[in-house]
Structure 1
Amino acid sequence: MKSKFSLLLIASILLTACKEKPIVDYEIIPHPNSIIYTDGSTTLTKDVKVYFTEELTQEAEMLKEYLNDDFGMTVETAQKEKNADILLELNNEYS
């Protein structure tokens, strides 16, 4: 009886470990046409530099506030695009 229970327990653990990753519903406005999920990750340090164009000043300030409030990151404005950890820019190809 114990061996059947152990076998059932092991099988249930293995089956739950094999389930697919859930698709996350990101709350991005405006909604993107598509999101392509890839392997890998990006790690940001506690000191982050953001470069943005003038028309995205409000969005950059919202991002800075979010990263500071929710993750305790110190966010500065990068004066040059090449010095930035995060780059905010509009793609006019789709407008």
Structure 2
Amino acid sequence: MAEARRAEAHDYLLPLVEEIHPSNANKITWMLVERENNTEIMNVIRDPELLCTRVDEMDALLKARDAGLKPEILKKLYGNNKKRKKGK
């Protein structure tokens, strides 16, 4: 995704994320935009339940990182998008 599209997606998602996790909204929104592809971002925008799930996942990642969990443990705990999508 080009930088301009990322910024546009961030600007659109930020107010939605602020409603769910106001304290980390900016950081979580950037995490979502950088992690997801265009299709997934559109799905998140259209589906409030999916947005809430993704925001909660990013918040949990931030908390785990702040608690000192190593990146390799975080990958095992939260996996990647491809594995998560196949499980749906």
Normalising by structure 2, report the TM-score. 0.27
**Which structure has greater strand proportion?**
1
Structure with bigger gyration radius: 1
**Which structure has greater helix proportion?**
2
